[in-house]
Each structure stands twice: as structure tokens, then as C-alpha cells.
Amino acid sequence: MGGELIGLVAVILGMGVPLAALYTYYRVRKLRSEERLAAIARGVDIPMEPELNQAARSRRAGLLLVSGALGYIAAFGLIASIQADRDIWTAAAFGIIPLAVGIGYFLDWSFIRREAHS
């Protein structure tokens, strides 16, 4: 019974968490739109929120991915050193994937910034 329950919970959470995130994103956007429309109906000036340019988006994604990857690698490295199990370092190695993607975003940011200054 335990293995079947774990599988069921994994499937439910694997599908439920992304659906909850999508619903939350939709709900926040809907509430923002309703708030803006109500302010417009009252005649209040609404400041436009500036969109981030491509360089800022690349820099933000790079920061998030690199810091997340380093935290992931550090967490599994700490677990591996506490339990003295070399196999756990295999799990820590998967942190190299978001680390490499984050470094790629940093390179993209530097190329965009260099092109803008040229």
C-alpha cells in the first residue's frame, strides 16, 4: 500500500502544483486588470509599469538560475558529506544543468549590453 500511495501522491502533486501556479498567475492578472479598470472608471491616472528590456530579463534569469543551482549543489554536497555517501554527489551533479543555463543567460546579458554600447 505504501508504494502505491507514494506514486499516487507524486502524480497528484506533479500535476497539481503546476495547475495551482497557472491558476494563481491567472487570478493575479485578472485582479490587476479589474483594479486598473476600476481606477480608470473613477478617473484616476494610472502610471504605466515599465516593461523590463531583454538585458534585464536575461540578467534576472541568470541570477535566479545560478543562485538556485549553487544552492542545490551545496545542499546535496552537505548531505553527501554528512552521510559520507559518494552516490549523493550524483544528485548534486544535476545542479550543473541550471548552472550552465544561468551562465548562458549571463553571457546573453553581456552580449546585449555590449551591442547596446556599440
Reported as a single tens digit per residue, the pLDDT across 17-39 is: 889 999 999 999 999 899 989 98
The whole-model pTM stands at: 0.57
Question: Mean pLDDT in the chain?
Answer: 85
Measured distance CA(114)–CA(117) in Å, rounded: 5
Residues 72 and 115 in one domain: yes
Mean pLDDT value across residues 59-74:
89
Residues 33 and 57 in one domain: no
Residues 59 and 45 in one domain: no
Mean pLDDT value across residues 67-88:
86
Measured distance CA(81)–CA(89) in Å, rounded: 9
- Domains: count for the chain: 2
- The residue segments making up the domain with residue 13 are 1-49
